[in-house]
């Protein structure tokens, strides 16, 4: 079931067209948006979040949704704030009744396993812990769709592994952008490949890799990525 439908989405920065008539049906669950640096992943995420306007085309969200959460790449968090206070801020900003905010914070602390960190100041946290807190702030209002822009960038291997597990266990629909093929290999998720301003291929990671292997192009996502993004076989036959 699609939680977002995108039709003919285009976006320009001055004369540079970044998104070019992009069509995409975003499925419920976790979706990894993979593409090289500069391919427009952040632009697409910001259009979905409503931060950037839809210049051409349309974005339609499923009825009955409960809003969108957004975590930018390398989020800037106030160093002197305590984790629990930081988590409460998005709820307050959204007009949640004051008496309801502690319950929401408790829920986010439990979902993100932040119990040991909730009284710590942000400046004392590691990179992985900062990402953990930022995602906690992103889910505080229980959105039906969470948008994460490069959440694993800059993390060491163990932090990336923990962040991916955390995202998979959130129990909400997620679109997570990345330029790292290892993020696909490590997650059982839907995949969409963004290149040249369009979604070039999409589907479940298992199905796409099975098709790649059956056609004799290798069994790794590195080979899959090269075939789609670097143009090794223009008629690749993958569903877009």
pTM of the predicted protein model: 0.90
Q: Which residues of 69-98 are buried (b: 16+ CB within 10 A; e: fewer)?
A: bbbbeebeeeeebbbbbbbbebbeeeebee
Q: d(Cα 80, Cα 82) in Å, to the nearest integer?
A: 7
CATH superfamily of 1-67+147-154+173-240: P-loop containing nucleotide triphosphate hydrolases (3.40.50.300)
Mean pLDDT of successive 10-residue stretches along the chain, which has 240 residues: 91 93 94 92 96 96 82 92 95 93 95 93 94 94 95 90 90 92 82 92 84 72 76 53
Q: Residue 190: what pLDDT?
A: 92
Q: d(Cα 51, Cα 97) in Å, to the nearest integer?
A: 25
Q: Cα–Cα–Cα angle for 64, 176, 112, nearest 5°?
A: 80
Considering the chain, tell me which residue range(s) the CATH 3.40.50.300 domain(s) occupy: 1-67+147-154+173-240
Structure tokens at 72: 């930018």
pLDDT in tens, 109-164: 999 999 999 999 999 999 999 999 999 999 999 999 999 999 998 898 898 999 99
Q: Residue 205: what pLDDT?
A: 82
CA-only gyration radius of the chain, Å: 18
């Amino acid at each position: 079931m699609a939680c977002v439908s995108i039709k003919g989405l285009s976006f320009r920065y001055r004369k540079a067209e970044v998104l070019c008539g992009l069509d995409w049906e975003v499925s419920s669950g976790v979706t990894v948006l993979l593409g090289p640096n500069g391919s427009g992943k952040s632009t697409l995420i910001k259009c979905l979040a409503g931060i950037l306007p839809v210049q051409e085309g349309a974005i339609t969200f499923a009825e009955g949704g409960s809003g969108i959460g957004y975590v930018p790449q390398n989020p800037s968090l106030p160093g002197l704030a305590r984790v629990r206070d930081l988590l409460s801020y998005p709820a307050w900003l959204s007009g949640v009744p004051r008496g309801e905010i502690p319950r929401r914070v408790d829920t986010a602390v439990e979902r993100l396993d932040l119990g040991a960190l909730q009284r710590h100041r942000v400046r004392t946290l590691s990179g992985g812990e900062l990402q953990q807190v930022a995602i906690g702030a992103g889910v505080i209002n229980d959105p039906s769709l969470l948008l994460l822009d490069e959440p694993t960038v800059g993390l060491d291997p163990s932090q990336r592994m923990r962040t991916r597990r955390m995202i998979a266990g959130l129990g909400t629909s997620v679109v997570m952008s990345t330029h790292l093929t290892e993020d696909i290999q490590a997650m059982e998720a839907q995949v969409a490949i963004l290149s040249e301003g369009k979604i070039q291929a999409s589907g479940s990671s298992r199905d796409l890799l099975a098709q790649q292997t059956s056609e004799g192009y290798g069994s790794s996502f590195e080979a899959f990525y090269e075939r789609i993004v670097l143009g090794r076989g223009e008629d690749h036959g993958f569903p877009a």
